[in-house]
């Protein structure tokens, strides 16, 4: 599986490079139009006017045909971002029965996320994937019952459609829906291999240039064929994606940074009651941004061995590389061309039994 994952990653990156020379586009009246149409009707260039964004400008814009600011789309390469994160996570796969949970996982993850146009529609497509390697020195074994295992590998694939808001054009609603596929190798305490899928979506409303409120949700569509470890020598229930629903507050700061704070609940049949978290993205330049995020699921069981078995969390810290120089945005809507939802990880793709 890891060799296939690396091959797929390289193939898509080469595809993105091949289309880097494609024509640029901008959004005009909810339709895609070539940048060459950006004139004042008499063949002269239009200068974008101040639109009252967080920096007093109209959000990462190029000129529209009506002497207003329209969000720059660009080609596939312009709308592709790569990332390299240090990751740590814990989930039900780390459970060791009556011994509690003796492991969590630390490693690194690399990947990309791309947005692309769908014909002449303002609705766009997105595709991304990541490859993560964890526990580089292997994991704890349980005598002759469970042997010590080598490092764990994970491959996430995310694909779907989206439409960003455009607060400059009085279009406050954004939405997106994707399908996430998780492919694992040596997952958890029992070092199992399986695939699993979920749907994930969000809808947001931009109150102004700097504040957005919305709802995110995910629901399982494809259970895994792995087992959880309830008692030594006695694997228990099969695993599946954890259904979740959260409300979020997205804040765009004057510095160009973006933060999201979220709070919500999970299916009461799962191994948690509620969850919370945050993420942040701060541009270091036009092409590089610092990213950090945390998700924590509060166990439904009481503190002690039962609660430790159910505890689930994810922590990520790293860098995002914008190939199109779009690391910094000027309002809460962001660039229309960039994908709306991130590639799934162990915080957005939670696992239960």
Highest mean pLDDT among 94-103, 104-113, 296-305: 104-113
Q: Is the pLDDT of residue 158 over 70?
A: yes
Asked if the structure places residue 242 within a domain, the reply is yes
In a domain? residue 110: yes
The β-bridge relationship of strands 258-266 and 25-28 is unpaired
pLDDT at 24 over 50: no
* Three-state DSSP class for residue 113: strand
| pLDDT number for residue 229 | 52
Region of 39 (left: φ > 0; alpha: ψ -120 to 50; beta: rest) is: beta
pLDDT band for position 120 (50/70/90)?
Answer: confident
Phi, psi (rounded to 5 degrees) for 310: -95, -15
Q: Is 6 contained in some domain?
A: no
| pTM to 2 decimal places | 0.77
**Among the listed residues 108, 131, 112, 128, the one whose alpha carbon sits nearest the alpha carbon of residue 5:** 131
Residue 16 lies in a domain: no
Contact assessment for residue 206 and residue 333, using Cβ atoms and an 8 Å cutoff: yes
- Burial (CB count <10 Å: 0-12, 13-18, 19+), residue 45: exposed
Domain membership flag for residue 31: no
In a domain, 270, yes or no: yes
Cβ-based neighbours of 255, under 8 Å, separated by 6 or more: 282
Residue 292 falls inside a structural domain: yes
Query: How much is the pLDDT for 295?
Result: 96
To the nearest 10°, report the CA torsion of 129, 256, 117, 350: 30
Q: Which residue has the higher pLDDT, 200 or 241?
A: 200
Contact 197, 179 (CB under 8 A): yes
Q: Does residue 304 register a pLDDT over 60?
A: no
Give 28: exposed, middle or buried? Use CB within 10 Å, 0-12, 13-18, 19+. Answer: middle
pLDDT(147) > 90? no
Q: In which band, very low, low, confident or very high, does the pLDDT at 311 lie, cut at 50, 70 and 90?
A: confident
Residues of the domain holding 226: 81-352
- Taking 70 as the threshold, does the pLDDT of residue 103 lie above it? no
**How many domains is the chain built from?**
1
Q: Judge whether 212 lies within some domain.
A: yes
Query: Taking all residues of the chain, what is their mean pLDDT, rounded to a whole number?
Result: 77
Count the helices and strands in the chain (H runs, E runs): 2, 20
Instruction: Assign residue 325 the CATH number of its domain.
Output: 2.40.160.40
| 294: Cβ contacts below 8 Å, ≥ 6 apart | 277, 278, 279, 313, 314, 315, 316, 347
Percent of the chain scoring above 90 in pLDDT: 48
């Amino acid at each position: 599986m890891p060799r296939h994952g690396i091959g797929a990653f390289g193939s898509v990156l080469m595809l993105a490079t091949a289309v880097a020379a494609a024509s640029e586009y901008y959004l005009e009246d909810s339709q895609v139009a070539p940048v060459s149409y950006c004139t004042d009707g008499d063949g002269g260039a239009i200068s974008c006017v101040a639109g009252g964004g967080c920096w007093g400008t109209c959000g990462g814009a190029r000129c529209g045909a009506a002497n207003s600011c329209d969000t720059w789309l660009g080609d596939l390469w312009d709308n592709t971002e790569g990332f390299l994160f240090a990751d740590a996570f814990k989930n039900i796969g780390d459970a060791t029965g009556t011994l509690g949970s003796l492991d969590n996982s630390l490693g690194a993850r690399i990947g990309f996320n791309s947005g692309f146009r769908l014909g002449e529609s303002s609705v766009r497509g997105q595709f991304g994937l990541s490859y993560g390697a964890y526990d580089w020195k292997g994991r704890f074994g349980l005598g002759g019952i469970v042997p010590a295992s080598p490092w764990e590998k994970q491959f996430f694939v995310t694909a779907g459609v989206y439409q960003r808001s455009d607060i400059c054009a009085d279009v406050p609603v954004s939405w997106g829906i994707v399908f996430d596929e998780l492919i694992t190798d040596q997952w958890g305490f029992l070092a199992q291999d399986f695939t699993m899928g979920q749907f994930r979506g969000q809808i947001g409303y931009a109150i102004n240039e700097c504040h957005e409120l919305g709802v995110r949700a995910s629901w399982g569509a494809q259970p895994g064929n792995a087992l959880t470890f309830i008692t030594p020598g006695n694997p228990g229930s099969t695993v599946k994606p954890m259904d979740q629903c959260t409300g979020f507050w997205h804040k765009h700061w004057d510095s160009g940074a973006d933060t999201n704070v979220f709070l919500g609940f999970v299916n009461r049949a799962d191994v948690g009651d509620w969850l919370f978290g945050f993420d942040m993205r701060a541009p270091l330049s036009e092409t590089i941004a610092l990213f950090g995020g945390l998700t924590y699921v509060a166990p439904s069981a009481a503190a002690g061995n039962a609660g430790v078995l159910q505890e689930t969390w994810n922590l990520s810290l790293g860098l995002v590389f914008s190939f199109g120089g779009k690391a910094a945005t000027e309002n809460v809507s962001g660039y229309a061309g960039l994908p709306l939802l991130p590639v799934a990880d162990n915080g957005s793709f939670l696992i239960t039994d």
